[in-house]
Amino acid sequence: MDHGPLCRIWGPVMIKHRGFPGRLPGTDFQFVIRRANPKGATPLTERERFRDRKPADRRADAGFLRALWEHFGDQPFERGNLDAGRLAWLFGREVKAFEESFDPESYDALLVIDVAVARSSFPEAFSDRGDE
């Protein structure tokens, strides 16, 4: 999407998801970024999750997925100000590209939760209390 002269003057334009939590409560696990990178969006890549990941990292993944679910549900959403590092832990599995013309370096890229995979991987993110 071309944002015209704004992009050329101030750099890339990105949507800010108002009401989306900035981080996992009580931690330093970041969920959003404050401003667009003037050099362009960090490319989204799929990060491999190993079985021996720290419990805190797994809680951060579940908390982020829960926030995505509560904010967007099963509807497509723009990447916008969502943190690329945090998205990378879910990308390609629980969160997928919505369009075939997906650009991993665009703040406008559309993503969607693969609900079946997400429920299987992180059932606690879909529970009423979030602590199952």
96-108: pLDDT as tens digits: 999 999 999 999 9
Residue ranges per structural domain of the chain: 5-126
Strand 110-113: give its sheet, edge to edge: 77-78, 110-113, 95-97
Structure tokens at 73: 């549900």
Cα separation of 20 and 70, whole Å? 9
Q: How confident is the model at residue 124 (pLDDT cuts 50, 70, 90)?
A: very high
Structure tokens at 125: 């993110």
Segment 31-49 shows an average pLDDT of 90
Cα separation of 76 and 27, whole Å? 28
Residue 64 has pLDDT above 60, yes or no: yes
Residue 130 has pLDDT above 80, yes or no: no
Share of the chain above pLDDT 90, in %: 64
